[in-house]
Each structure stands twice: as structure tokens, then as C-alpha cells.
Amino acid sequence: MKILVTGGAGFIGSAVVRHIINNTQDSVINLDKLTYAGNLDSIASVADNERYAFVQADICDRAALDKIFAEHQPAAIMHLAAESHVDRSIHGAQDFIATNIVGTFRLLEAARAHWLTLDEANKAAFRFLHVSTDEVYGTLAPDAPAFTEKHAYEPNSPYSASKAASDHLARAWYHTYGLPVLTTNCSNNYGPWHFPEKLIPLMIVNALAGKPLPVYGDGQQVRDWLYVKDHCSAIRRVLEAGRTGETYNVGGWNEKTNLAIVHTICDLLDEMRPRPDGQSYRAQITHVQDRPGHDRRYAIDARKIERELGWRPAETFDSGIRKTVRWYLDNPEWVQGVQSGAYREWVAAQYGHEGGHEGGHEGGHEGADARTGAAS
């Protein structure tokens, strides 16, 4: 099967590309705009594979999309391209509206035009998988049940509102036009190759650089954490066997406070790379002013995907975070590369300086423009 992956140079998108090439016989067309968080180094290991092709394009460019569909004739789409960082959406929502809403609309229309040209067998087999975030559901009280697929949409940031709109478009194109759409809503992703604007990689990178570890407010915001390779296996399973028109929540069954996450990272670094002065990295933690409208708790009920499709995460948080910290220690060149140039310029534009308070960002549904899908 030939799969078009949008946002395949971002964090989750690149993991999806590597997963498909390394674990299946399927082919990938990677469509990515290569904005600040898109990084071709993240897919260098598969770039020369004969089943892989890269196209630099913007999902808002309908003519470019039509050309890609005509040339490559994909049998499925995994749509991860998105602007994803909550803080960035607060500073400026325009790109989020353009990419997440208008871009998704144009991709759905291009996919529908392509789908209508297929013969009946290929039409029936075609799939459009829309990858989204648990943030569309809003916030939960400390003792409230976790989000199920039936939970009402209550987005509280420009980012989550734009993703909610894209979810509604995907649903509408299924119900109105019959396009075979599937939707997934994931919790916070983490793992290797994660751009260091999100909580976990930012804390690792800042800790090693001797910088403050900024935590929003009291640090008691709760998120469910999903190792990125588990997310890849989940959405691949949904693509293969999910029921069209359905939504599947994907979570790691790992609810943790932000402060507990930072403590865990500090403790692992104390073990793996102790500070020269013998102090714990916890000494670098600093609490900063909370961001506007910060949701207190997200939690995913992932029983539907387990019940219907037999999927469960392979990693616990303890095993996944240990692998993640180890990867960042072993790959300083990748970190240095993504922190150069455009990243530093973005930090300076958003926060007025380099490095300090980008922090407290939860991490990771994804990333930027024709990149990947979902944030904190």
C-alpha cells in the first residue's frame, strides 16, 4: 500500500514514517512544508529506501496537493500536518487557523477528488486517517472520568479550537460525501527526535546546559503520556482495521503531573550523567507564571481501541522515559542542529530572549505547518 503522510518531518510524523518503512512493506510519500520544527535529519535513516519519497509542499496549496495525488496515487492518507504548540497559538493564532483548518479542508477536498477517480475496489479500500489531540475535549476535574470518544468538545486554546474544527471537518466529509475517514485523538507524546519546545525534551536539554527548568505555576497540571512508538503502532492499527466514520482515543495510561515529570527527568540525569558539582538537577527547577487558560488535567480512556482493535501500549512511562533520556544523551548533534538558526530566532521572537522561559510546555502531539498533529 502507498501511504501519503502529511507532516512527516515533524516529531510524530517522522516516527510514523520510520515505523512504516522499518516494520511493513508499504511505501510512504512524505509531504512536509519544512517549517521550524520539521527536520529531515529525523528521517535520514530511511531517506534512501526505495519505498520512500519526499515532497516539500504546503497542505494549504491545493494545486500542489492535486499534483501529488496525480503523480503518486496514494491508497491511504495519514494526516499529521498541523501547527501544534499551545503557547505559540496564544502568541499568534493565524497560522493555526490557516494550517489546521484551511489546510485540512484543502487536503480533504484533494483527497475526495482523488477518491472519486478510483475504481470501486480501490474506492472501498481507500482511507483518510485524521490524527488529532485530546485537547479538543477541554479540561477535566481531578476526580472526573477520563475522556472517552463520546466526551463533548470543549477546546480552551486557539490551538485546540483549531484542531477541534479540523476534527469536525473530517467527520463532515465522511457523513456528507462518504469519504472513508477515521479519526484518532491522542494524549501527550514523548520520545526521541522531539523538538525541544515541549516539556520533556526542553527539560533534558536545559538541564544538561545548566539552564533553569521552568515549570508553569504549581506544576500540578496532569497529562497522560504516550511513547511515540506506541502512538505509531496504534494509528497504524486504526488505519488497517478501524471502522470508517469512527473516532479512537489513543493514550498511554500514564497520568502524571508536570512537576513529577520534571522530577523524573532530573533523577534519571542524576543517575546517567551526574552534575560535576554533585548536586541534583532538581536544583535547577524554577516555577514561572502560569500561561493563560492552562488546562489542569487531560486523561485518555483508551478502552475502545483495545476492545475493538486489540491495541495496548507496549511501553510503561518508566521504560519510555528512560529510553528517551538515554537517546538525548546519545544524540547531542541532533539537538544542536535543531537549536540553531530558525529555532533560536523563533524563541527570540516569542519570548524576547534565547532559552529561558520557553519552558513549562507540555509536549507533544506534534508540530508545524505541513508537519504534524497535536500539542499540549
Query: If you average pLDDT over residues 48-57, what whole number do you get?
Result: 97
Task: Name which of 136, 93, 56, 32 is nearest 369 in CA terms.
Answer: 32
Tell me what pLDDT residue 345 has. Answer: 65
Is the pLDDT score of 347 beyond 80?
no
Count CA within 13 A, CB hemisphere, residue 68: 29
Torsion of CA 253, 133, 85, 296, to 10 degrees: -60
Task: Kindly state the DSSP code that residue 219 receives in the 8-state scheme.
Answer: S
Task: Name which of 21, 15, 20 is nearest 50 in CA terms.
Answer: 21
Tell me what pLDDT residue 370 has. Answer: 32
Task: Name which of 185, 174, 282 is nearest 234 in CA terms.
Answer: 185
302 close to 253: Cβ distance less than 8 angstroms? yes
284 lies in a domain?
Answer: no
351 lies in a domain?
Answer: no
57 lies in a domain?
Answer: yes
Query: If you average pLDDT over residues 302-313, what whole number do you get?
Result: 98
Higher pLDDT, 376 or 47: 47
Report how many domains make up the chain.
Answer: 1
| 65-97 pLDDT tens trace | 999 999 999 999 999 999 887 878 888 899 999
What percent of the chain lies above the pLDDT cut of 90? 81
Task: Name which of 62, 60, 78, 81 is nearest 70 in CA terms.
Answer: 62
Give the angle 214-39-370 at the CA atoms, nearest 5°: 95
Classify the C-alpha dihedral 230-194-87-254 as positive or negative. positive
Query: If you average pLDDT over residues 249-255, what whole number do you get?
Result: 96
Of 33-42, 136-145, 202-211, 253-262, the poorest mean pLDDT is in 33-42
How far apart CA 264 and CA 89 sit, in angstroms, is 28
Tell me what pLDDT residue 293 has. Answer: 77
pTM score, two decimals?
Answer: 0.90
Is the pLDDT score of 272 beyond 90?
yes
63 lies in a domain?
Answer: yes
205 lies in a domain?
Answer: no
**If pLDDT is split at 50, 70 and 90, which confidence band does 354 have?**
very low
**If pLDDT is split at 50, 70 and 90, which confidence band does 346 have?**
low
152 lies in a domain?
Answer: yes
Higher pLDDT, 342 or 172: 172
Tell me what pLDDT residue 98 has. Answer: 95
Tell me what pLDDT residue 38 has. Answer: 80
Q: Name the grid cell of 336.
A: 544542536
Tell me what pLDDT residue 348 has. Answer: 57
How far apart CA 369 and CA 310 sit, in angstroms, is 32
Task: Name which of 7, 45, 60, 59 is nearest 29 in CA terms.
Answer: 7
Whichever domain contains 99, its CATH number is: 3.40.50.720
The distance in angstroms from the start CA to the end CA of the chain is: 32
44 lies in a domain?
Answer: yes
| 276-306 pLDDT tens trace | 999 999 999 999 998 887 889 999 999 999 9
36 lies in a domain?
Answer: yes
Is the pLDDT score of 364 beyond 80?
no
Query: If you average pLDDT over residues 325-330, what whole number do you get?
Result: 98
Catalytic residue positions, numbered: 134-135, 159
Higher pLDDT, 360 or 286: 286
Q: For 43-79, give the DSSP string.
A: GGGGTT-TTEEEEE--TT-HHHHHHHHHHH--SEEEE
Full domain range(s) for residue 177: 2-195+226-254+299-315
| 164-207 pLDDT tens trace | 999 999 999 999 999 999 999 999 999 999 988 789 999 999 99
Crossing angle between the packed helical segments 258-272 and 199-208, to the nearest 10 degrees: 40
pLDDT, mean over the chain: 90
How far apart CA 47 and CA 45 sit, in angstroms, is 6
Is the pLDDT score of 353 beyond 80?
no
